[in-house]
Each structure stands twice: as C-alpha cells, then as structure tokens.
Chains A and B, each alone.
Chain A
Amino acid sequence: MTETNAGSPHAATSEAESDAVDHSSSANIEGSPVVADSDPLLEVRGLEKHYPITRGFLRREVGRVRAVDGIDFDIGRGEALGLVGESGSGKTTAAHSILRLEEPTAGEIVFDGESVTDLSGPNLRSFRRRAQLVVQDPNEAFNPRLTVGSAVAEPLSLHGMSDESRRRAIVEDVLERVGLSGDDADRYPHEFSGGEKQRISIARALVCNPDLIVADEPTSALDARVQSDVLALLADIRREHDISILFISHDLDVVRLFCDRVAVMYLGEIVEQGPIEDVLESPAHPYTRVLMNSVPSLDPSDRTFESPLTDTIPDPGDPPSGCRFHTRCPELIPPADLAVSDEEWQTLAAFRFTIETGELPSAVDPTTVGDVDAATVREEFDLPTELADQELNRRIGSAVEAVASGDVETAGQELASVLPTVCEQVVPTQSTHRGRPVNCHRYDPDREAEPVAWRGAGL
C-alpha cells in the first residue's frame, strides 16, 4: 500500500487513480455515498492533550496543563479550516495531537472513516504519509547539509520507495509544481529565500501525495506579497488535488484569504466555528470579537482598538472556572438583580478582574507607590462615584478602600461576592447562532442574557 501510493499524483497518474478508487471504495463499504458534507476527511471528537505538572523525586502529578481540552471539528475533503487564537491557545498542540506527533490524552480522531487514535506500525506510517505537516519557519525545517532534492525525496525513501531515478523524477516534478525548477534539486537550502524555502517545504509535503496538509503558521515569517504567493500556490494545489488543509494561524487576514471555515480557540477550547465569511462578518463569541478588534484597520482615520477587560491571558494549568474567557470578556453577563447600566457594569467588572489577576496598574500598586488613596483608585479604574444602588455603592467603596490600603485579597473577595456572574459559575454549553456553534451563555436561549449586537467593522 505504502509502496504503490507513494508517488506524486502528477508524475504517477495511475497511482493517483488507484488512490482515488481506494477512497471511494472505503466510503462505499460503509454504505455512504460520496458526498463531501456527510463524509468529512477528518473528524476530531473530544480531543484532549494534557501535560502533567510533576514535582519532587517521585514526579508526583500536582496539576495539569490543559493545552487542548476537548475540541470537536470536521474537515471536509478539499476543505481548508483555519484554526486561530493567541499563543498558548493550544492550536499547535491540537495539530500535533491530530498527526499523532504527540499522543492525545483523550478523544477520537477519525481520518477517512478510520480511527487513527490506536494506529501503530505500518498503519500509523501510512496515515502519516497521507497527513503531512508544514511548519512555520522554513529555516528550521531543513538540514543545511542535504540538497533540496534529498530533503524533498526523504519522505519517499522513508515510505519505502527505493528506486532512486524514480525518486528524482518525482522530486523534479514536484519542485516545478511549487514554482521552482527541477535543477533546484541539486542546490542547498541556504541558496533560497524564505519564500522559496517555504515552497520547498510544501513540495516535501506534497511528494507523498497527501490527503491532508496541516500547515502551522506557514506564512508568518514571510513578507506580505511573498505570503500571498505561497498562499496562492497552496490554494492551487488544494484545488488541483482536492487536498484538505488544517491551517493554523494567528493572522486573521491570511485565514480570511485562504480558508473556507474557521475555528477560534481560547485556552484549549474552541469557542466558535463557522464559515469564514459568516464569522468575520458577524463574529458571535466575545473572544472572536476581541481578536477582530485588535487587528488595526487599513483606514488610517480609524485608529481605535477595543480592549478586553484585562490583558492577562490566564495560566492554562489553572484555567478560569465557568467560561474560560470570563476574566477578559467585555460582554460578561451581569447578575439579574444588579441595578447598573451596561457601562457601569463593564467598569466594575474590569475593576474586579484586574484586582483578581493581581496585575495592578502602577499608579495604584501599593507595593510600588507609598500611599494610595481611594480617589486615585477610583480614578485609575474610572469607577463611577455614585451608584444608584446604595448597598452596591457601599461595598464597592469598601473594596476601593481595601485596594488603597494594600489589601488586594480582601478587595477581590468583596468584589467577587458583590459582582457575581453566571459566566464564572457555569460552563457554557454549545449554542447555535446563525447556524454555527458558539460556546457563550449569551447565545443560550435558556439564559436571560441576550447577545450583544456586533458593531465592529469587518477586516
């Protein structure tokens, strides 16, 4: 199987055909007609990857970093899914777990109708031939002492193709397909520019005729136009060979230009996913909105950013309770009986969670500044001086006093008890917004809170 399939689809049409026949026959065995929607190439269910935090001589487990904590998504045949999020959101760990470069802690990965979670030996090798990885930094992807030709041919030899002249023919062909020339096979990586090296990485991924390419920030190290070239190349290849792509990026622009669908990750979870136009046109999850609001507009007269409540990304080893985004969420849900305006609530919530993260602004940090008075604290957090609710007023006042006197812990407890939110208490279940899944209480019909209208501009 490995031997016969290990050819470029271009150079070895017969193999490509038999490969295609393989796909459809396996689909037929399960009795399902070949319809892209009902038969995704890749199904990921409940994928988890936890890293134990151990301590001491016995390496006792004292905690876990939940890098990926139960994610679900599908990728259709020939489809490109973007996986976006800040660093530390678990995007790359998810990708590595899917390729079994790291062993998942739990969950199921089904590739072309077959579970890959328990594959080993030749079956695992065959899966890895069909699912290839392209990494971000093309400078680190190559052995400087190997010619480009040997680097590109390496997967072929690994997967058992021993005929050297045949390997060479395939390599030259695949180099030409990525916009280089066959002669480039005899040159060394340092002779190529960053964009060209990334083309060579793509060539190396293509040489085994894969069905899935996992591209981890493939163009982040490149200039805008070179980036555009490489993406256009990937798009052509995807169309020509119906290759599915899992595209990992922190850059919403390239995801917008390249992907059909997008999934947004935060602290190991997917918070929202859907068709790229829909998500960018009307992002539902507050985190997606924060990401979009952080992208500078191309219009120089529009220079405002809307910030999250707090800037600190929580520790994935100790993620916040309830909705993991609640400590930064500008759309945090107020308690039903709290008589404050939306603006007041936002200000109070920002006060609360800044106190809880302990990252006090310098002006009110009692450890840096000698004497902090209550007025400075109010000013720094822009707190309303007079709230309609007398009881609330009094308790905010006492929290302010506590901050001023340096007792941040008491202030935090006071604020937590007077400003509770469902978002910290209950893990949101998956709701549906315009036909796509969103994990946010505001979209849950059983909750009183309504979605906040999206007023931002698109990208």
Chain B
Amino acid sequence: MSSNANSTTTSTRSNEPLLSVDGLRTFIETEREQFPAVDGVSFSVDRGETVCIVGESGSGKSVTCESLTGIVPQPPARITDGQITFDGKRIDGASERELRSIRGDRIAHVFQNPQQALDPVYTVGDQIVEAMTIHGQRSGTSARERAISLLRKVGIPRADDRIDEYPHEFSGGMRQRVAIAIALAADPDLLVADEPTTAVDVTVQAKLIELLRDLTDDDTAILLITHDLRVVASLADSVVVMYGGTIVERGPVDTVFSTPAHPYTQALFDSYDGLSRRNDRSARGELPSDGCRFRAECPYAEPACEGGDQPDFYTLDSDADHSVSCVHFSPDGDPERVLDASTEVHSVSEVSR
C-alpha cells in the first residue's frame, strides 16, 4: 500500500471513512433535455469495507461511481453538486491532473466487460507493467516480477507463461481476473467494480467472489455495483439501494436482507420469489423527478410521496445503521403497513428456500 498507509496514521484514520460522498448530483444533458441521473446521493466506504450499490439500469448506480473520479464522459454528463472526500481530502472539482493521480493509483475501476479494460494488441504483462509505471511505480525486471505475482494473486495458473499471452488467449473469467490484476497494479485503496461478475458462469462467478473477498482481507475497500442480490449477499458489508437516481435504502447487509424496508427493495426481493408481471405502464413509465421516485409503481403510495426532495431517511427500530427514504417510516407514518406485508414474503429463509 506504498507510503500512504503507514502505521503512524492508521489510528487517526480508523474513524473517518476512506471515501465519503455527500449530496452528489450528476446531470445528463441531451439535445432535448437534461435530467439528474444522480440526484443527491450520499454514502461512505470505510477502509477494507465492501459496499454494494444495488439498482437497475437507469438507477444511476454506474454514473455515481463514474462521477467519483470523473471518468463519466463530460459532456453529456455534468457533475453539478456534492462533496467527495477521499482519504481526508476533497476530490470533487479537482483538476484533471489531480484526478489522474488518484485514478488507478488510489481508486481503481473494474468494468463488467473486461474487453473495455484490455488492449488486444499488448500482452497482459505489458498492460500490468504499464499500469504500474504510469503510476510511478517500478519498471524493468522488478515490474515484471510484480506483474507475475499479481497474476498469481488473482488466481491465474502458470502466471509466468501466461504473462506473455494476449487477452484473447484467456477465457472470459480469466480475462476478468487479468482486468482485476491491472486494477490492483498500483495497490489502490479502493476498487470500484461495476458488475464484474455479470457476464460469467456461476462457477467462475464463485471464484471471482472469493477473489474479491480475499482482497478486502488485505484492507482494500471495494465499491461494487450490481443488480444481483445474490452477489450482494455473498460480498457486502453494507448495502446501498438506488432507484431513479436516488438512494432509497441503506444499511448493513444482514438487516437489509432480513428486513428489506423500502417498497422498491421489497420488489427486488420479489423478483427472486416468483414471476410477477408488473402492469405495463409502470414497467415503461417515465419516472417522477421529485418526491419519491418509486411512487408510480409503489403499492403504498400516497399524496405525501409527491413533490419536493426525496423523502427524508428514517432509521429502522431494529438497527440504527439501517435507514430508508420512505414517508411510511417517518414518526407519523405506519412502517408496519409496509413491513408486515414484507416479513411474510421476504424473510431470508423463505426467499432462499
């Protein structure tokens, strides 16, 4: 972890999160319109912690993560608001040069499709070494040795032969491992992984999950984006659920999975439970841009859900770290109305049969 994480500073750091995001807002502008793809998102990631952002396409989960280090293409995107603090330092509004020193070096990205990260005309070894030298680490023989050890670390057999092979000579799962090895080249403190296991077989996925788990043992923090609740259950310490550009629920994985509170989170669990055909309007409809974004589909929607900012976050009685942005959980609301219906259907034991 280079000079950044020496032991003298560990004690002061243990209290403050590695990454904290406060009120992030990113607009996407097209010729016809502009809309907030991320609309006031706040969360934090501790050192060595795995935080999963769950949501579907259009929820803003990827744009959120790409806004952190400014890799979201601007335009069409425009980051208008929010504080991003990384390792005690504000990085929102940082210059491209400053961001470049963080990107890859301290915060590394892994994408769903490793093809995006790998250059077909260079050997994987060259690409790992390149990642190291760009970030001012070693070069020459020692870089090659370290590249081999990284390939070993991500579980690639015969690493010293395979380092001279090209990406197309690797299987899909192995390619994703190579992408992870490149991301790890500069010993990042935070790995941001966007659906890294979505395109692979279950057996390969299991291996990748174990690999990511081993990384957090080395104190690397992981911010993982996924739509797959099973992947979340197998990896996350904390969960952030996004819908329509907003966070609707967040908390420790155990309590979110045992007591999914937001009606949207409940709907996500429902999709593992049986086939339910939403009415076609709600499946296709435009999202509201104020109040609770989920209200058009919500079985518990009422007039209070409309207008203004998204509902405040209310803490659940069962766990002070578990909070939900839903008017039914306000002091005047009746959370049981939402929770009762869910406990019958969504208890973990039943869902996982």
Contacts and interface: CB of A to CB of B under 8 A. Distances in A.
Interface of A: 86-87, 179-180, 193-196, 223-229, 231-233, 235-236, 250-253, 257-258, 290-291, 293-303, 305, 307-308, 311, 358-362, 365, 367-368, 457-459
Contacts of A361: 157
Interface string B134-168: 00000000000000100010000111110000000
Interface of B: 56-57, 148, 152, 157-161, 172, 201-207, 209-210, 213, 227-234, 236, 253-254, 257, 267-272, 274-278, 280, 283-284, 348-349, 351-353
Contacts of A368: 148, 152, 158-160
B268 A229 contact: no
Contacts of A233: 277
Contacts of B172: 87
B277 A236 contact: yes
Contacts of A300: 232-234, 236, 253-254, 257, 348
B157 A295 contact: no
A225 B352 contact: no
B206 A305 contact: yes
A360 B160 CA distance: 12
A276 to B, nearest CB: 13
Contacts of B277: 228-229, 232-233, 236
A224 B228 contact: yes
Contact of A296 (B201, B231, B270): B231
Contacts of B203: 86, 290-291, 294, 308, 311
27 contacts: A224-B228, A224-B229, A224-B272, A225-B56, A225-B267, A225-B268, A225-B271, A225-B278, A228-B276, A231-B275, A233-B277, A235-B275, A253-B272, A258-B275, A294-B203, A295-B230, A300-B232, A300-B234, A300-B236, A300-B253, A303-B213, A303-B234, A307-B207, A365-B159, A367-B160, A368-B148, A368-B158
A274 B229 CA distance: 27
The secondary structure that dominates the A interface is loop
A114 to B, nearest CB: 33
A290 B227 CA distance: 23
B202 A457 contact: no
Contacts of B278: 225, 229
Contact of B57 (A193, A228, A305): A193
A87 B209 contact: no
Given A226-B57, A299-B352, A308-B203, 11 more contacts: A224-B229, A224-B271, A226-B283, A228-B275, A229-B277, A250-B202, A257-B274, A293-B206, A298-B348, A300-B348, A365-B160
